[in-house]
Structure 1
Amino acid sequence: MALTDQAQALLDMVYRVGAPRFHELTVEQARHSFEKLQFVFGGEPEAVASTLDLPMSRPDGSVLIARLYRPLEAGPTDVLPLLIYYHGGGWCVGSVQSHDSLCRRIANRAGCAVLSVDYRLAPEHPFPAAMEDTLFAVEWAQANADALALDPGRFGLGGDSAGGNLSLVAALMLRDMRPGALRCLCLIYPCTEIESSRPSRESYASGYFLDRESLSWFFERYLPDGGAHDWRVSPMQAASLAGLPPTIVVTAECDPLRDDGIAMVERARSEGVAAHHIDVPGMVHGFVTLGKWFPEANEVVDRISLQLRSYFRKIAVSD
């Protein structure tokens, strides 16, 4: 299938006006451009029951900021399941604010709390900083679950693009450290391998929003010392995916990362993981946060949220 009319129109607009792509910008310019894109084309922010910006203090005295959303349906003392969410942006751009509308919609539709994490970004903080923040956020949320009215037995991880990569890496670490710590995993067009020769990398390498050069721009800043085959960077290099919790994987048809995501689904299933795959026709990488422009974005978020709600369902002791 070709690009949808909306996707084609967005790409025509971007390339017609000659808007610079990420690899043609400084880091600060790229961050500003990304935030502007989300502001112009992102979904309208829904009302939620509450939001709370949380400073998560590390043992060394530094602070990691995250934003906690509670859904409209929840009372202030209701104990809720939690999806810890890591935003996309190639480990270099993006923020809690750029993904605010998305996290609000997930919270309301899935009926869970969402903790959106402002992990450290490259190139100021290259690998393994973001990975360390990802795991720390889980540990902090578990330790503070009672104070935040969260159910530590119903935690999940989610993220888009680079955030999907971080979620998958953290899930593999938690599998080895504390089996059963996670109820579910939600990966939206995740980066599962830095280096890949699967067909979509070439088929959609130019003119489909996430160009080959932009991918390289992100990878070089996240991994200035190399290490693309480290499984903590390329989780498809892990010895096994067995033991992961039920996993949602979203792929976009016209995305250079699509075939890598499909390969991850196929491998996970072959190793006993309950992997639920949603492939979205005619879409490009990054569409999920652009709900004002793409009706498919809201449709997919609603499908994801319904699946998350089922994963987070309370299970009776007798089950």
Structure 2
Amino acid sequence: MTIADTLKGMIGLDPTAHADADMKAVLDTLKSLNPKPIEECTVAEARQQPTPADAVKALMTQAGHAARLPLEVEVVQSEDIQMPGAAGSNPARVYRPAGEGPFPLILYFHGGGWVIADLDVYDATPRSMAAQSNAIVVSAHYRQAPEHKIPAAHEDAFAAWRWIVEFAASLGGDPRRIAVMGESAGANLAINVAIHARDAGLQAPLHQALIYPVASNNIVSISYEENRNARPLNKKMMLWFVQNVINDEGDLSNRLIDVVSANLSRLPPTVVVTAGIDPLRSEGEKLAEKLHHAGVAVEHRNYQGATHEFFGMAAVVQAARDAQTFVSLAQRQAFGGVPLEREP
């Protein structure tokens, strides 16, 4: 049997049946919130649907699902600010760990397909990383499609990088120690910031953490077919996001989206996190491979029983706790702290 025959036989199957038990509990809770499929929504409707973050919060109210997070996360302080973008200001949230600075800084971009979600939906990841990486994390919002199509979000991300480099000290940070990080579409913004900094002769990030990145225009990859019916992200949803983001079909070959075809040399040390039950897994794997061949120091870990969006679920999902530990160790190493632990 060929790979094509195998994939054809998977059409209609629910890959989340193979999710870890705690991951499946989140998915079941999300289903109980009755979200309308994003691909059947208008953009306005999509922005109002229950999110995986809502499911985590609901699950934490149930017996036996108390949050399991490091105590350091509870003392992280956050402050909402406005940050200059490429065409006006954008909301941002600054997370500060306990202790005395100056701290390293991490510029973080949330996910949502460049169309939905905001700083509140993606509050858990930057809050946890501030504690675990002992760094100030600045979560930067950006203009979203379809009101602002490509390259608006990327231009805002570039502006956010220039701002954080200039104002790091005023935030209590060390301007010599700044990294980038993002989830999904936000991971795409993060690596494009590193590419832009290199090409524009700007200060480069010391490190980049790319969590299930959007990095390719290949929608017939193995993981896209395996996970065409996955939750909380599936193939139809990704096509809906893309159609809202692009100006025309020519944008699909834009290196801002098709990052695996871009020049990836001279980028900072990188960690790539992927999930087994995720249409984006194959492009994350491909990106890690391309970075390695370009001479970039890269570590990639896949969490087979996890789904897209799992990384911020450390309160209730063990794979998220493991992934956050992996990423924070890499960030602390880049900042001059403890070394990155490698799997045997």
TM over 0.5: yes
Answer whether contact 1:41 1:291 (CA < 8 A) is retained. no
Which residue of 232, 236, 251 corresponds with 2:260? 236
Residues 1:256 and 2:282 aligned together: no
**Per-residue deviation, residues 223-276 of structure 1 (Å, max 9, x unmatched):** 1323111101221121x2111100010000111111111111111111110001
- Structure 1 residues 225 and 160: CA distance shift in structure 2, 3 A: same
Which residue of 80, 83, 93 corresponds with 1:67? 93
Normalized against structure 2, the TM-score is what? 0.83
Answer whether contact 2:108 2:138 (CA < 8 A) is retained. yes
**CA positional deviation for 1:292:** 4.0
Residues 1:24 and 2:40 aligned together: yes
**CA positional deviation for 1:207:** 3.3
Which residue of 292, 305, 308 corresponds with 2:331? 308
Answer whether contact 2:111 2:186 (CA < 8 A) is retained. yes
Distance, in Å, in 2 between the alignment partners of 1:52 and 1:101 is 14
- Structure 1 residues 48 and 123: CA distance shift in structure 2, 3 A: farther
Gaps of 5+ in 1: none
Moved more, 284-293 or 217-226: 284-293
The equivalent of 2:198 in structure 1 is 175
**CA positional deviation for 1:279:** 0.9
**CA positional deviation for 1:149:** 2.1
The equivalent of 1:54 in structure 2 is 81
Answer whether contact 2:206 2:268 (CA < 8 A) is retained. yes
**CA positional deviation for 1:142:** 1.2
Answer whether contact 2:184 2:212 (CA < 8 A) is retained. yes
The equivalent of 2:22 in structure 1 is 6
The equivalent of 2:222 in structure 1 is 199
**CA positional deviation for 1:63:** 1.2
- Structure 1 residues 109 and 13: CA distance shift in structure 2, 3 A: closer
Residues 1:284 and 2:280 aligned together: no
The equivalent of 2:105 in structure 1 is 82
Residues 1:39 and 2:54 aligned together: yes
Gaps of 5+ in 2: 1-14, 61-66, 339-344
**CA positional deviation for 1:197:** 3.1
Question: 1:80 corresponds to which letter in structure 2?
Answer: F
SS in 2 for 1:219: helix
Answer whether contact 1:48 1:71 (CA < 8 A) is retained. yes
Distance, in Å, in 2 between the alignment partners of 1:10 and 1:56 is 33
The equivalent of 1:162 in structure 2 is 185
Distance, in Å, in 2 between the alignment partners of 1:86 and 1:224 is 22
Moved more, 285-294 or 147-156: 285-294
Moved more, 124-133 or 11-20: 11-20
SS in 2 for 1:33: coil
**CA positional deviation for 1:295:** 2.2
Normalized against structure 1, the TM-score is what? 0.89
Answer whether contact 1:153 1:181 (CA < 8 A) is retained. no
SS in 2 for 1:92: coil
SS in 1 for 2:252: coil
Answer whether contact 1:230 1:237 (CA < 8 A) is retained. no
Answer whether contact 2:111 2:185 (CA < 8 A) is retained. yes
Residues 1:147 and 2:163 aligned together: no
Distance, in Å, in 1 between the alignment partners of 2:31 and 2:77 is 39
**CA positional deviation for 1:124:** 1.3
Answer whether contact 1:92 1:221 (CA < 8 A) is retained. yes
**CA positional deviation for 1:82:** 0.7
The equivalent of 2:121 in structure 1 is 98
Distance, in Å, in 2 between the alignment partners of 1:93 and 1:119 is 11
- Structure 1 residues 26 and 64: CA distance shift in structure 2, 3 A: same
Moved more, 288-297 or 36-45: 36-45
- Structure 1 residues 18 and 175: CA distance shift in structure 2, 3 A: same
Question: 2:97 corresponds to which letter in structure 1?
Answer: P
Answer whether contact 1:85 1:115 (CA < 8 A) is retained. yes
Answer whether contact 2:84 2:159 (CA < 8 A) is retained. no
Answer whether contact 1:48 1:104 (CA < 8 A) is retained. no
SS in 2 for 1:143: helix
Residues 1:224 and 2:247 aligned together: yes
Q: Percent identity?
A: 31
How many equivalent pairs are there?
Answer: 309
Distance, in Å, in 2 between the alignment partners of 1:48 and 1:203 is 41
Distance, in Å, in 2 between the alignment partners of 1:124 and 1:183 is 33
Distance, in Å, in 2 between the alignment partners of 1:19 and 1:52 is 30
Which residue of 142, 145, 151 corresponds with 1:122? 145
RMSD (Å) for aligned C-alpha atoms: 2.4
